[in-house]
């Protein structure tokens, strides 16, 4: 099901800035503690905000609030974010 949802949307690449980075915890149905990582980006081309889920903990840790770079995403999921070096 996730695969269908993922490929239903086109891949988008756009210049963006990280507005908010959030790590949230919840308990799954079996009682285990799980985390949800999400980042809110401001897309420079359209001045639109998008909230994306980040499946890679490593990628989540590499991205910081205020970073500017090239964002690639599909649907609600971050694929990649390459920071601009100023």
Are the CB atoms for 72 and 79 separated by under 8 Å? yes
Q: Where are the alpha helices (DSSP H) in the chain?
A: 2-8, 57-62
pLDDT in tens, the chain (86 residues): 455 555 688 999 999 999 998 877 666 667 676 667 788 898 877 888 999 988 888 898 999 999 999 999 998 889 999 998 65
Task: Please state the pTM of the whole predicted model.
Answer: 0.78
């Amino acid at each position: 099901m996730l695969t269908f949802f993922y490929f239903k949307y086109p891949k988008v690449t756009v210049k963006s800035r990280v507005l908010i980075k959030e790590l949230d915890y919840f308990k799954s149905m079996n009682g285990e503690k799980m985390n949800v990582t999400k980042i809110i980006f401001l897309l420079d081309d359209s001045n639109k905000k998008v909230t994306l889920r980040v499946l890679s903990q490593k990628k989540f840790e590499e991205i910081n609030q205020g970073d500017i770079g090239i964002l690639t995403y599909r649907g609600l999921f971050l694929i990649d974010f390459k920071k601009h070096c100023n």
